[in-house]
Structure 1
Amino acid sequence: MMFQYHKYHALGNDYIVLNPGEISFELTPERIRLICDRHFGVGSDGILLGPLPRDGAGPDLRIYNPDGGEAEKSGNGIRIFSRYLIDKKLVAADRFELKTLGGPVRVEKLKPDGSLLRVSMGTVTFRSSEIPVSGPDREVVGEEMEFGKKRMKATCVSIGNPHCVIPVRAVSPELACELGPDVEGAPQFPNRINLQILQVLDRRNIKIEIWERGAGYTLASGTSSCAAACAAHRLGLTDEEVTVHMPGGEITVKIGGDWSVLMTGSVSSVCEGALSGEFLNALSKLP
């Protein structure tokens, strides 16, 4: 059983990159959970599996949450995977395209070492049928919803994965953790959902705290930044270009007239190596 890994973080949101050519076993939900466990495994906010064989239809990478579930798209994950491709000289161009389950993205290298990247994330939608949100087909913008015992106004967005943005007077980790489980699993969201609580600082700056579907409280998120920026702009609270402030750092989001989104942010390398035989044996015993 072979296992090589490569670990990166994007503003404190850390992922393990696994190249299919460097592992000799299937990634099951049970194995994903053990690898991502911060006490019993390597520890991470998820796993990026790729590059996958290009067969014309499938994605270039698969994105797994630490609970073993799969994510359609991750802005930080895309930047991390792109940095890995650059580090390993698997791409040579300054601009290239990747396929995700949430749609294709275009990546532009802004620094030669790939530590700063701009990603064209596709277009956002507020339509309930495309997010999805239960009920009649509509744009879910400033809609009053009940989460647990709280009634709050929410704007829901998809950028290839689903998001619920709730403006508040002041954000805090405690509030994100209080609301997160109720919002993620609310009955109106059949596929569960990511939560961003949003504080508008001025027309060009917003602050968010994040609860990610399948991961919990998170220091930073690329798709969450895009979703929150688009929700704030749709509500008329911000301009088309904003800096998104998160506990892990900042991402710049630029929104086009057609609701296309450009995201710019950094990536840092952490470590790479091989796991011990003892840990590999523990993985082999899992289904």
Structure 2
Amino acid sequence: MEFIKSHGLGNDYIVFDKEKINFPLTEKNVRLICDRNYGIGSDGILILEKINNQEFKVRIFNPDGSEAEKSGNGIRILAKYIYDYRYTTEKEFYIYTLGGKVKVSIVEEQKGRAKSIEVEMGKITFKSSEIPVLGSEREIIDEELKINDETIKVTCLSIGNPHCVFFVDEINEEKIKSLGPKIENHPMFPNRINVQMVKVLSPDKIEIRIWERGAGYTLASGSSSCAAASASYKKGLVNNQVEVIMPGGVLHVKINPDWSVNLVGPAEEVFKGELSQEFLFKLKT
């Protein structure tokens, strides 16, 4: 039972080929595999299914066992896996996610392996019903959200998965770790939500911190980068091409006139391995 493990700026995923999986994908098993003490350890699991030479499907699992609609880092990691292990020789192909179909392009190689990948992430929507956010139909821009005794202004959107963005004058990691789980599980968000703290540095550069739904504090996130850049652009704080700085590194986001978003960044394989018979037995029982 082979697997590889890769990361996108410190946001790491385990990749399995659906055709080779010989254990049930239960919530319990996902949590065990992702556990950093009792399993392999990761921020999630990607399950690849090949349709043809240019089309693929992915299921994305969070470390708490829930299933995610979309992941910018996960898509780049999967694209690298598809190209490096010659599931296709094409440099442009499509991946179907629960959050929609995306196009990926290998933009830089190193010794025949993908190094930098561009992802057409889909379109942004700020409509409450499409995120979703409870209440009357509206765009969620600078809306007040009460968290215990504190009220913060949030801008919410979806790019196939839901995001809640708030802006600060100074980055405070303890604050995102404190507010993150409270916002993620706020009753206003029936499907829970990803959370981004944003500091605007210049018209073409922002710094963010991330609390990821189902994963917690995360060093980097592709969809969160798209969300933070798009919220900043919607509010007139940045241009349509933005450098997004995170603890794990930098991603580049371009927001197009139709509110579709392109994401460019690296992916790096860490190792490949094989599940032991002992561990497989645990997954099968």
Q: Give the TM interval when normalised to the shorter protein.
A: over 0.9
Aligned to 2:272: 272
Aligned to 1:42: 40
Q: Deviations over 1:50-107 (max 9, x none)?
A: 12557xxx97010000000000000000000000001110111111111111001011
Shift, 1:46, TM fit: 0.2
TM-score norm. by structure 2 comes to 0.96
Percent identity over paired residues: 50
Contact 2:205–2:245 (8 Å) recurs in 1 = yes
Shift, 1:149, TM fit: 2.4
Shift, 1:283, TM fit: 1.5
Aligned to 1:118: 118
Aligned to 2:24: 26
Does 1:180 pair with 2:180?
Answer: yes
Cα distance in 2 for partners of 1:68, 1:263 equals 26
Cα distance in 1 for partners of 2:258, 2:171 equals 29
Aligned to 1:226: 226
Counterpart of 1:145, as a letter, is: L
Moved more, 232-241 or 22-31: 22-31
Q: 1:66 aligns with which of 56, 63, 68?
A: 63
Residue 165 of structure 1 aligns to a residue in which SS?
strand
Cα distance in 2 for partners of 1:53, 1:254 equals 29
Cα distance in 2 for partners of 1:208, 1:189 equals 21
Computed over aligned residues only, the root mean square deviation of the Cα atoms, in angstroms, reads: 1.2
Task: Identify unmatched segments of 5+ residues in structure 1.
Answer: none
Contact 2:15–2:48 (8 Å) recurs in 1 = yes
Identify if the C-alpha distance between structure 1 residues 157 and 59 changes in structure 2 by more than 3 Å, giving closer, same or farther: farther
Cα distance in 2 for partners of 1:148, 1:83 equals 43
Cα distance in 2 for partners of 1:128, 1:284 equals 41
Contact 1:59–1:100 (8 Å) recurs in 2 = no
Cα distance in 2 for partners of 1:168, 1:261 equals 24
Aligned to 1:17: 15
Counterpart of 1:224, as a letter, is: S
Cα distance in 2 for partners of 1:128, 1:85 equals 35
Contact 1:59–1:101 (8 Å) recurs in 2 = no
Counterpart of 2:25, as a letter, is: L
Cα distance in 1 for partners of 2:272, 2:60 equals 19
Aligned to 2:251: 251
Q: 2:98 aligns with which of 71, 94, 101?
A: 101
Aligned to 2:194: 194
Residue 85 of structure 1 aligns to a residue in which SS?
helix
Q: 2:86 aligns with which of 86, 89, 107?
A: 89
Aligned to 1:75: 72
Shift, 1:275, TM fit: 1.4
Contact 1:4–1:273 (8 Å) recurs in 2 = yes
Contact 2:10–2:248 (8 Å) recurs in 1 = yes
Shift, 1:232, TM fit: 0.3
Q: Which contiguous aligned blocks of 4+ residues in structure 1 show a shift greater than 3 angstroms?
A: none
Cα distance in 1 for partners of 2:213, 2:50 equals 24
Pick the structure with more strand per residue: 2
Contact 2:105–2:118 (8 Å) recurs in 1 = yes
Shift, 1:148, TM fit: 2.8
Moved more, 92-101 or 245-254: 92-101
Residue 51 of structure 1 aligns to a residue in which SS?
strand
Task: Identify unmatched segments of 5+ residues in structure 2.
Answer: none
TM-score norm. by structure 1 comes to 0.95
Cα distance in 2 for partners of 1:52, 1:61 equals 9
Cα distance in 1 for partners of 2:150, 2:49 equals 43
Contact 2:15–2:46 (8 Å) recurs in 1 = yes
Task: Give the number of aligned pairs.
Answer: 280
Cα distance in 2 for partners of 1:164, 1:130 equals 13
Cα distance in 1 for partners of 2:212, 2:45 equals 14
Residue 50 of structure 1 aligns to a residue in which SS?
strand
Shift, 1:188, TM fit: 0.3
